[in-house]
Structure 1
Amino acid sequence: MRVSVSTAQDLGMPAIYLHTLAELLHTIGVDERDLILRVGLDPTRLNSTEVRVSQAQASEFVTRAIIESGEPGLGIMLARELKLPLHGALGTAVMSSRTLEEALELMTRYLTLRAPHLKVQKRVSGQNAWYNVTCDIELGPLQGFVLDAVLFGCVTMGAQLTGTLVPGTRVLRRGPEPNHFHRFRNRIGVPVEYGATENALIVPVSQLCLPVRFSDDQLAASSRAQCEEALKQLKEDAGFACRVRRVIETSHPFPPKLARVAATLFVSERTLKRRLQEEEASFQQLVDQVRLERAKELLENTGMNLSQIADALGYADAANFTRAFKRWTGLSPSHFRTRETALRRTA
C-alpha cells in the first residue's frame, strides 16, 4: 500500500527544478515571485542544484502553479526546459557517458537523487528496452505533473545527448489521454500512447549504442563517484532534524517561526520539539547552524555591510549579529571577512 506525500519520508526536492518552473511561469504571465513567497520559500535560495526544498512546499508550489496558471500541461512544458546541467552531479555523469545505454542506466540507478520516490525498472522485450517508471507514494493531483516531467524529460535528455530525437522511441502512459494533451503532442516529437498498463519509456535496443556527444571518461568516473556519495548522504539525511533544517534554510522570511515549520511538516509544535530532542537537536540549534552558514557566505561573497547582513539573517541590529557570530566562531564578522579576503588573494 502506498502512503501519501504528507506521511512519507521526506527526502526533499531539488530547488533548481522549482526555480526553472518559476522562470517558465514568468514567460506565461504568472507572478512567480509572489507565488514563491506565498508558499514561504526564499527565491534567492532556489537557484541551486544542491539545495533541496521540503516535499510539502514543493507540492504546494506546483499545485498553486497549475491552478493559477490555468495550464495543466506545466509538467510537459517543464520537461522541455530541463537541460542536463540542471540535474547536478547526475546530469554531469549522464552527459559524460559513452553511450545512450550507459546514460539510461545512470538515470535508473540515481533517479532518487533528483526525483525522490520514483523508481525505474528496465526490461528487454523483443527488440525494445522498456524503462518502467513507478512511484512508491501517493502524489494525488501531482502524479501527472511529475510523470510528465520525468518521462518527457527523458525524451529531451536523449535528444540533448545524441544530437537528435532517438529514432523509434515511444512513451507509454497509464489512464486516458488528458483533454489538454492534443496541444502538446506535436511538440514532444515521439509517439505517446495513453491507456497503457504502465508509465514507460521505450527505446529500441539497436539505438542504445548511440554515442553521447559529450563523452568524457575521466569526468564520468568523478561524477559517478559524486552520485554515489550524494545517494549515501541523502539516505543519511532522512532523519527528522534534516527535514526541519531543509525547511529552515529555504524559508522566507528568515528565520521561520517554529509554528510554521511544524505546519509545513504536518506535525504539532510539541511533536516537532520532541522528535528533535530524540535526535539530540533543537530548533534553535538548527536555525543557528543555517544562520552561521549564510553569514559566512554573505561575508565572503558580497559587499553587504553588517547591518544589511544582520537584517538578512533576522537580527534586530548589527550588534546582535556581531555578538552571535563571535560566539560561534571566536571572530568578529569584520575580522572573518578580512581574513577570508586575504586567504583568497594568496591562494
Structure 2
Amino acid sequence: MYEVTIPVHKVLRLFDYLEKLGLEAEPIAARAGLSRKAILKLEPGATLPGQQYSRLYKQAVLEMQTLKQPLPWAAGVGSEAFELMCHCMISARTLGDAIGLAERYEKMLYPMIGHRVWLEVAGDTAKLGYQIRFTERGSAALVPDDWDRADYQDTVAKASGLLIWHALCGWLVGESLEIEQANISAPFLNAAYHDSLSATFHSNVLFDADDTYFSFAAEQLQRRIVHTSDSLRELLDNAIYQLILIERRPASTSAAIKSLISIDLSRGLPSFADMAAQLHMSESSLRRRLQSESTSYQQLKDEVRCQVAIDKLLNEGARIADLSDYLGFTEPSSFVRSFKNWTGETPRSYREKILALGDDPD
C-alpha cells in the first residue's frame, strides 16, 4: 500500500492550536475541503490522507500570516517567505551555492521572519546552523501561554527548523546528507523525542548546546542540485506532505525521481534511461542507487500514480476513465485494480469516504 495517512489526533491538535491563537478553525478547514465538525466525530484511531492534512496546514499558515508575526515552527514552511527562499535556491548549481543564497536571503529578512540559516566551513567539516529569535515562554505571539506545548516551545521550534533544513538539503541533491552530529541549543524534552530526532538525522543529538546546527563532511556541499523550478513547484504545492514522506523515508534519489515523474506525467512516464539522464547518472549507477534504497523504478512510478490519483479524485473530481488514461493505464479496470491494491479500496468508495469529511454532520 502506497497511501500516506496522518492520525486524526494530529489534525485535532492543529485545530486546538489555531483556536488558542484566536483563529477560527472551521473556515480554515473548509478552505482545505474539510469539516472540523465531521473530523471531531471520527474515532480516535482514524486517519486522514496526507495530502488533505498538507492542504489544511497550508491554509493554517496562510491564516497565521495575517497576524503579522514571525512563524516559529518548522523554519516557516508554508509561508510566502519560505517559498520565495526556495525559488532563490533552485537556481544554484551545487548544494553549497544553494545554502549560500538562502543564508543571504534570510539574513536580510531576519528582522521580519525571526529565523535564519547560516553555513560555516572549517577544513573538512561544514556546519549548517539555524537561529531563531525568541527563546523564552511568552516571547512569541504564536506561542500562546495556555497551549500544552508552551513549556517546551524553544526545543520544538529549533529542532523542527533544523529538521526542515536537513530534509530540504536532501531533497535538493536527491540524497540525504550524512550527518556527523546534531546540536540543539534548547533543553532536553524526553527520551522519545530524542530518539525520534536521532533516527531522522541518523546521528547523535545533543541538547543544551551552545548553537543549533548539524555538522557534516564539507565535500557534500559540492553535490549537484538535481531538481528544477518545475519540481520545486510540485514540492511547495504539497510541502508538508512531501516533508512527511521525507521524514518516513529519508531524502533520496527515490524522492528526486518521484518529483521528476510527477512533472512529466501528463506527457507519459519517462523511461529508465531518460530518468538516469535527467539525474546526470548512468543507468547502472541509478540501478545500484535504487537497490541500496530498497526500491525499484516500477515501485516509484506506482507510488507517484497513487499519490496523483488520490489528489485528483479528492480535489479535482476526476472521472475514473480520465484518470486511467492520464496515469497511463490501458483500461479503467486496470486502474481500479491497482488503486485497490494501493489503498485497500476502490476509487469510488475511497472518494466518498474522504469527501464525507468535508460535509457538516446534521
TM-score normalised according to structure 2 size: 0.40
Larger Rg: 1
